[in-house]
């Protein structure tokens, strides 16, 4: 059964096309990174600017009406959740039952083996939240680490960020295949983050290897420049 979280995640990641026909229609939205914020609590009227989803880093119950922003909770000892769009689980946590319309997200770390990362695709998960232990600025090794996760996990990957990276760094992460980012709303200016995200350009399909080096054909075998000796006819005996 489809759930609201997966539908919204897919819509943001893919963007929307302009509708054909007459009349006034909303402009097409280009693909962009999905933004999730971690909050210490959720009460009615809570607003976190610039984000698509808010997750409370503790068990809670979303007892008020649905909002435009997706809401989720982390599962602890209390496993009963009502009104949430999604829940966040740990791989080492207890197996819990959830409603069909409630998406499951799993936290993962980079210490999983290649086989374990591939096995993640078999879990009933809408996405994974990856803790990559990134620093204040990115290095190329970080990109290799992220590329490994996106290549093997088989589901949308949301990368947890410690700071707001600059445009070039966020673009590099998006180009590695992440679907979204997760930040701490108590430490990160989410409105400023959204401004940077909106400046990014989606990776163009089919042009990923525009700078690839075309291998040269092997050199033709050198022709012998030595003239073969003329064969003299046998002399009559």
Q: Which domains does the chain have, with CATH numbers?
A: 4-12+30-198 (3.20.20.70)
- Give the three-class secondary structure for 116: helix
Average pLDDT, integer, range 181-204: 94
- What mean pLDDT comes out for the span 184-206? 90
pLDDT grade for 100, boundaries at 50, 70 and 90: confident
Percent of the chain scoring above 90 in pLDDT: 54
pLDDT score of 228: 54
pTM: 0.79
pLDDT band at 165 (very low <50, low <70, confident <90, very high): very high
In angstroms, the Cα distances linking 77 to 38, 47, 59, 86, 137 are 19, 27, 8, 17, 36
Which residues neighbour 79 within 8 Å (Cβ) at sequence distance 6 or greater? 59, 94, 96, 97
């Amino acid at each position: 059964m489809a759930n609201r979280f997966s539908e919204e995640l897919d819509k943001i990641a893919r963007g929307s096309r302009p509708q054909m026909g007459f009349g006034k229609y909303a402009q097409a939205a280009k693909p962009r990174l999905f933004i999730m914020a971690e909050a210490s609590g959720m009460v009615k009227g809570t607003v976190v600017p610039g984000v698509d989803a808010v997750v409370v880093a503790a068990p809670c119950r979303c007892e008020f009406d649905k909002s435009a922003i997706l809401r989720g909770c982390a599962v602890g000892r209390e496993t009963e959740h009502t009104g949430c769009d999604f829940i966040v689980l740990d791989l080492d946590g207890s197996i819990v039952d959830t409603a069909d319309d409630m998406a499951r997200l799993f936290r993962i770390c980079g210490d999983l083996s290649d086989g374990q990362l591939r096995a993640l695709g078999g879990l009933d998960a809408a996405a994974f939240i990856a803790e990559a232990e990134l620093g204040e600025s990115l290095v190329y090794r970080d990109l290799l680490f992220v590329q490994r996760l996106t290549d093997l996990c088989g589901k949308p990957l949301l990368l947890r960020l410690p700071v707001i990276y600059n445009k070039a760094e966020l673009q590099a992460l998006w180009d590695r295949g992440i679907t979204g980012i997760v930040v701490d709303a108590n430490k990160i200016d989410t409105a400023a983050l959204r401004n940077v995200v909106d400046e990014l350009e989606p990776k163009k399909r089919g042009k990923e290897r525009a700078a690839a080096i075309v291998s040269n054909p092997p050199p033709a075998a050198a022709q012998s420049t030595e003239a073969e000796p003329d064969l003299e006819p046998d002399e009559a005996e």
